[in-house]
Amino acid sequence: MLTISKIHQKTWPALLTVCATLIVWLGSKAYYDDWFSDPCKYPAKAASLSATILMCWCAVLSTRLRPLEAFFGGQDKVYQVHKRIGRWSFFLIVLHPLFLSAHNLPDFLVFFQELGFLRPSGNPYLWGHNIGVATFSLMAGLMIFTLWVKIPYHVWKITHEWFGGVLLLAAGHVLIVDRDVAAYPFLRIWVYGFLALALASFVYIRFFYRFCGPHFHYTISEIEKHGDVVQATLSPIQEKMEFKPSQFVYLVVHKEGITPEPHPYSIACGYNSSNRIKLGIKQSGDHTRSLDRLETGDSVTLYGPYGQFSDRFLSAERGCIFIGGGIGITPFLGMWHVALHSEERIEAREAPERLRRMHPELIRTWKSPLVFLFYVCRTMADARLR
Q: What is the pLDDT of residues 156-213, one digit of tens each?
A: 777 777 888 888 888 888 878 767 888 899 999 999 999 999 999 999 999 999 999 9
Q: Spell out a b/e string for 125-161, using b for 16 or more CB atoms within 10 Å of the CB, else e.
A: ebbbbbbbbbbbebbeebbebbeeeeeeeeeeeebee
Q: How far apart are CA 103 and CA 234, in angstroms?
A: 63
Kind of pairing between the strands at 371-376 and 320-325: parallel
The CA distances from residue 35 to 24, 32, 207, 339, in Å, are 14, 9, 43, 65
Average of pLDDT values for 136-145? 84
Q: What does the pLDDT look like over 291-320, one tens digit per residue? A: 888 999 999 999 999 999 988 898 888 889
Q: How far apart are CA 90 and CA 82, in angstroms?
A: 12
CATH of domain 215-384: 2.40.30.10
What confidence tier does 1 reach under pLDDT thresholds 50, 70, 90? very low
Q: Residue 317, Cβ neighbours under 10 Å: how many?
A: 9
pTM of the full predicted structure? 0.88
Q: How far apart are CA 325 and CA 334, in angstroms?
A: 16
State the CATH class of domain 12-211: mainly alpha
Q: How far apart are CA 300 and CA 293, in angstroms?
A: 13
The amino acid present at 170, given as its one-letter code, is A
What confidence tier does 27 reach under pLDDT thresholds 50, 70, 90? very high
Is residue 258 scored above 60 in pLDDT? yes
Is residue 65 scored above 80 in pLDDT? yes
Q: Where in the chain is the domain with CATH 1.20.120?
A: 12-211
Predicted confidence at residue 165, as pLDDT, reads 84
27 or 318, higher pLDDT: 27
Q: Where in the chain is the domain with CATH 2.40.30.10?
A: 215-384
